[in-house]
């Protein structure tokens, strides 16, 4: 991304709320697609909070997180993160170059034939294993290679969802998720932070990371779910980068289409998220 001046950023953000929403799938933010001249941009606005120092720490963590993902071989578009005043609070803003709708991986999974879906899944599986092999082993870092966080541009995966930044341990991430959630006050009343693990386990453990992708594919293509499960079990079983214990766990979790947790279903309902429902038809192993 060519650098945007402060004046250009202010102009872009001035009337952002009236711009076209590009997706209704986000939880922390519903991105806007705006045009700066001929240039298409994604603008993501986050829940405003009172503590400016807290926001500053998130910005530092985010920039370090993007650096670490790139170090591990993950391709990320040029990304600007900043804060702005919003009704006496401090709001995070992320600006990225926009991808076309037909490049979004979730849309590709919907539009491809079954062989194309298998090829796309292979790309994601390969990337999550590459991340684990190449990442800095001396730091706590999470990664969420879900379908809606990717696009396919010039036959390569690009990862564009860098919030929440996950350059921290799982317990700290759980606290950040509640703090930055538009529904955080309600979540704090009904869900202990440790139960957020039902969602964030997928960001730190290969078996649930892997099966999370498979579950998303099955929900998008329920009629192909058995073929997707069979292919995914074969990939896991044949990969030399997946340990025997991880293989056992993955195969156990892929007896039938993986299910979204009850907590994540509640979170989706709170945010009026339009993701697909669980596939409840039993599938043979």
Average pLDDT over residues 134-160: 95
For residue 19, is pLDDT > 60? Answer: no
DSSP structural state of residue 183? T
Residue 265 pLDDT: 62
Residue 79 pLDDT: 92
Record the tokens describing residue 206, joined without a space: 């290969």
Cβ neighbors of 115 (< 8 A, separation 6 or more) are: none
Query: Taking the C-alpha atoms of 206, 209, 211 and 212 in order, what is their torsion angle to the nearest 10 degrees?
Result: 170
Count how many residues are written for the chain: 285
Residue 149 pLDDT: 94
Residue 2 pLDDT: 65
Residue 124 pLDDT: 98
Residue 194 pLDDT: 74
Using a pLDDT cut of 90, give the percent of the chain over it: 60
146: confidence class by pLDDT, cuts 50, 70, 90: very high
Average pLDDT over residues 244-251: 98
Contact 179/49 with Cβ under 8 angstroms? yes
**pLDDT digit string (tens) for 41-73?**
889 988 888 999 999 999 999 999 999 999 999
Residue 281 pLDDT: 44
Residue 98 pLDDT: 87
User: In terms of DSSP H, where are the helices of the chain?
Assistant: 6-14, 52-71, 105-111, 114-134, 170-180, 184-190, 197-204, 206-220, 225-238, 244-253, 262-270
282: confidence class by pLDDT, cuts 50, 70, 90: very low
């Amino acid at each position: 991304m060519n650098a945007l001046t402060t004046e250009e950023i202010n102009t872009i953000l001035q009337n952002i709320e009236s711009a076209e929403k590009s997706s209704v799938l986000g939880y922390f933010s519903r991105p806007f697609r705006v045009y700066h001249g001929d240039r298409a941009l994604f603008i993501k606005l986050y829940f405003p909070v009172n503590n400016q120092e807290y926001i500053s720490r998130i910005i530092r963590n985010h920039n370090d997180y993007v650096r670490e993902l790139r170090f591990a071989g993950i391709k990320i578009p040029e990304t600007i993160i900043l804060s702005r005043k919003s009704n006496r609070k401090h709001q995070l803003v992320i600006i990225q170059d926009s991808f076309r709708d037909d490049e979004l991986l979730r849309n590709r999974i919907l539009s491809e034939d079954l062989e194309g879906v298998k090829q796309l899944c292979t790309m994601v599986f390969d990337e999550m294993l590459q991340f684990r092999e190449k990442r800095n082993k001396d730091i706590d870092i999470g990664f969420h290679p879900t379908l809606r966080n990717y696009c396919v541009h010039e036959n390569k995966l690009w990862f564009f969802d860098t919030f929440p930044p996950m350059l921290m341990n799982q317990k700290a991430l759980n606290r950040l998720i509640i703090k930055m959630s538009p529904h955080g006050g309600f979540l704090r009343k009904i869900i202990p932070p440790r139960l957020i693990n039902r969602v964030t386990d997928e960001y730190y453990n290969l078996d649930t990371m892997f099966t999370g992708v498979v579950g998303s594919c099955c929900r998008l293509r329920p009629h192909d779910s058995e073929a997707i499960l069979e292919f995914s079990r074969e990939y896991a079983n044949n990969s030399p980068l997946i340990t025997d214990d991880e293989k056992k766990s993955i195969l156990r979790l892929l007896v039938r289409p993986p299910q979204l947790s009850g907590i994540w279903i509640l979170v989706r309902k709170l945010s009026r998220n339009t993701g697909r429902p669980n596939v409840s038809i039993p599938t043979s192993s």
